[in-house]
Structure 1
């Protein structure tokens, strides 16, 4: 049995159709095992026999749209890839805290043309693009009321087939998949 995390884009827990119990119901209805949600931001872990991640993404997204009216993006990552990212700790020496918010922006597809900028604004430090995780790694300074332009830059540059999680959330997802 393969272990996966589905990272759903645009989930708002205040929307009754986007609550964890409804999300779990869609995944269970697809026949997945050991379905669980993590936090209230669109993180669903599950087990299934399938190995084709792009096909899983399409199948899950179609079901979310059909059953709950959720049109947003679905990105699937397998446990082994997420475990490898966490074990490698690409943020070595940095602590996730106010002023250094460690983020991972996952891309739906392989993006060999990705060239991360040195900086988009003074609040964002780009660590780099992680090929095996298919993700940008960044450190966001959120210690001021000013907001970073990085997320808007990502959307403008790469479209909607991306989603961002904190490294802390990625670690929690891996821990949930360990059980």
Structure 2
């Protein structure tokens, strides 16, 4: 059985159709095994025999749209991809805290169309692009309300086929996939 994490974009737990139990129900209805949610922000882990991640993303997204009215934003990563990213420790020596918020922005497409700059603004430092994980790694000074400018920049520059998670969440997802 293959282990996957589905990272859903735009999940708001206040929306009754986006609650964890409903999301799990869609995944279980697709025949996936050991379905579990992590936090309330669209992180699901599951197991299935399928190996075509692109087809799985599409199948999941169609089901979410059909059953819950969730329009889009499913990005899949295998356990192996996420485990390798964590093992590479791209944020070595950095601590996730308010002034240095460690984030990973996952891309649906294999290669972003625009190379990341070294810095987007004075509050955001781009560590780099991890090609194996298909993700930007950034350190954000989250103590300033202007931080949201970076998220807007990401959307404007790369579109909606991305989703961002904290480094701590990525690590938690990997641990959940190991159970």
**Which TM-score tier does this pair reach, normalised by the shorter chain?**
over 0.9
1:55 is matched with which residue?
55
1:25-57 deviations in Å (ceiling 9; x for gaps)? 000000000000000000000000000000000
| Structure 1 spans left out of the alignment, 5+ residues | none
Q: Could you tell me how far 1:86 is from its partner in structure 2? A: 0.5
**1:50 is paired with a residue of what secondary structure?**
coil
Supply the RMSD in Å over aligned alpha carbons: 0.9
2:118 is matched with which residue?
118
2:75 is matched with which residue?
75
Query: How many Å separate the matches in 2 of 1:80 and 1:146?
Result: 35
Contact 1:6 1:77 in 2 (8 A): yes
**Count of aligned residue pairs for this structure pair:** 179
**1:147 is paired with a residue of what secondary structure?**
helix
| Structure 2 spans left out of the alignment, 5+ residues | none
1:125-151 deviations in Å (ceiling 9; x for gaps)? 000111000000000001123334211
Q: Could you tell me how far 1:113 is from its partner in structure 2? A: 4.0
Q: CA separation of 1:121/1:148 partners in 2, compared to 1, >3 Å: closer, same or farther?
A: farther
Contact 1:24 1:44 in 2 (8 A): yes
Query: How many Å separate the matches in 1 of 2:23 and 2:128?
Result: 32
**1:125 is paired with a residue of what secondary structure?**
strand
Query: How many Å separate the matches in 1 of 2:70 and 2:111?
Result: 25
Contact 1:120 1:149 in 2 (8 A): no
1:70-96 deviations in Å (ceiling 9; x for gaps)? 002100000000000011110000000
Contact 2:140 2:147 in 1 (8 A): no
